[in-house]
Amino acid sequence: MTSAPALPARMEFIDAPLAGGPEVMRVGHGALPVPAPDEVLIRVQAAGVNRPDIAQRQGFYPPPPGASPLMGLEVAGEVVGLGAAVRGWRVGERVCALTNGGGYAQYCVAPAPQCLPWPTGYDAIRAAALPENYFTVWANLFQIGGLAAGQSALIHGGSSGIGLTAIQLGAEFGARVFATAGSADKCAACVSFGASAAIDYRTQDFVAEIERLTDRQGVDVVLDMVAGDYVSRDVRCMKMGGRIVIIGLMGGRVSRDFDFNPVMRKRIWITGSTMRPRATDDKGRIAAELRERVWPVLDAGRRGPVIHKVFDFAEAAAAHALMESSAHIGKIMLKVAD
């Protein structure tokens, strides 16, 4: 490993030794991780908080084989060590990275292909808010969902970090984007960041609203982090040949009384994915497309992450409690170091 001088022998990290609520989280101490040949070692300055972290803490989302047992799927910081096979990064460079785990720590490893430079003018907090949402949205809305200019999309959970990213990128690349959210304030945020209209799912029927907003034509793509009974309603929102891409199961793993007739009649594709188990080469291809297509947009100051609140590293439990409340609009972040 090529490394910067004077790395400490030990570091602090956020541990959850037992499955449970936010109260099980605590600051732990241990050795720095050692990068594999294709990994970089990052001195973490900021980390993002994401729904998979909540599920992991609760015991429902174990890390894949070989990944860090610590929570944390996205970080930004300084490269302080290089695995023997790493090319294209140097010690001292600032990166943001989609990790395979371990981001809630002062030091973290990440596969080099999953790293990206900080966009122009970004600090660590804004840079760390990018990887999980931007990898997820690019892979699912554009690569899998095939959203293109002139098409339309419905984004569920529009005021979440993923939702606001999907709205912004959909609008940036010429699509008409609709969103659902759970309050008037959250709907207003969706519109302010590029949605053509936002639907309050607590007071409105999103199927009826999509029919009205599209003159009964429907949408080309639905990005669905809810699943459950939403999927049968998604089908009713689709154009001929539409694509439903499921990225979360907040509404449950089972859809009751699902009607397959409109799926066949409209030739609808229903698919989904999770990011964490994907191979490094796959994530590297997503990163390369982001760097080519999306990073110039961010460098130019257009679009970008929406930060709801930043917590100090030791306040990770409070950050998790806020995320579980769903009271936030955009990203929840941890500040780890200057």
This prediction has a pTM of 0.95
Q: Map residue 310 onto helix, strand or coil.
A: strand
Mean pLDDT estimate for the chain: 96
> Is the CB of residue 141 less than 8 Å from the CB of residue 170?
yes
Tell me: the pLDDT tens digits for 46-90? Answer: 999 999 999 999 999 999 888 999 999 999 999 999 999 999 999
What pLDDT does 251 receive?
A: 87
Contacts of 259 (CB under 8 A, 6+ apart): 232, 235
Q: How many CA atoms lie within 13 A of 121 on its CB side?
A: 10
| Domains of the chain from N-terminus onward | 2-130+276-335 (3.90.180.10), 134-272 (3.40.50.720)
What are the helix and strand counts (H, E) for the chain?
11, 16
Q: What is the dihedral of CA 328, 247, 212, 263, to 10 degrees?
A: -160
Q: Exposed (0-12), middle (13-18) or buried (19+): which is 191, by Cβ within 10 Å?
A: middle
Contacts of 230 (CB under 8 A, 6+ apart): 156, 224, 251, 255
Q: How many CA atoms lie within 13 A of 322 on its CB side?
A: 19
C-alpha distances (whole Å) from 228 to each of 133, 249, 250, 252, 253 are 22, 7, 8, 4, 5
Tell me: the pLDDT tens digits for 113-145? Answer: 999 999 999 999 999 999 999 999 999 999 999
